[in-house]
Amino acid sequence: MAESFEEAAGQLTSAGHAFVARVREQPYPTLALAAIAGYVMGGGLFSSVTRPMARAALGVLLVPGVRERLRDLSEQFRLVNTP
């Protein structure tokens, strides 16, 4: 039991160090991700402010050029990540 606790504590410490390193290396993307997570967890996902943004994002996705680029990117991602 003590070994598993020490192992879990070591993994948590390692994850904490990795998080701190990422924040130091890339502070703005990490801040943006935290802001988005806070907005969603705070209930902003279904607010009246988000509705127009969601419509705009869907409108962009309906443009054929954007759709094709996303499809190409997903194909490239699949090819890179297949074992």
Q: What is the DSSP string of 36-82?
A: HHHHHHTTGGGSTTHHHHHHHHHHHHHSHHHHHHHHHHHHHHHHHH-
Do 31 and 61 lie in one domain? The reply is no
Do 38 and 53 lie in one domain? The reply is no
Do 24 and 52 lie in one domain? The reply is no
For residue 55, the number of C-alpha atoms closer than 13 Å in the C-beta half-sphere is 6
| Residue 32 clears pLDDT 80, i.e. is over it | yes
The domain tally of the chain equals: 2
Do 35 and 69 lie in one domain? The reply is no
pTM (two decimals): 0.46
Predicted confidence at residue 1, as pLDDT, reads: 61
Q: Are 21 and 28 in contact (CB under 8 A)?
A: no
Domain residue limits at 24: 1-45
Which residue, 78, 61, 79, 81, is CA-closest to 70?
Answer: 61
| Residue 51 clears pLDDT 70, i.e. is over it | yes
What letter would DSSP give residue 83? Answer: -
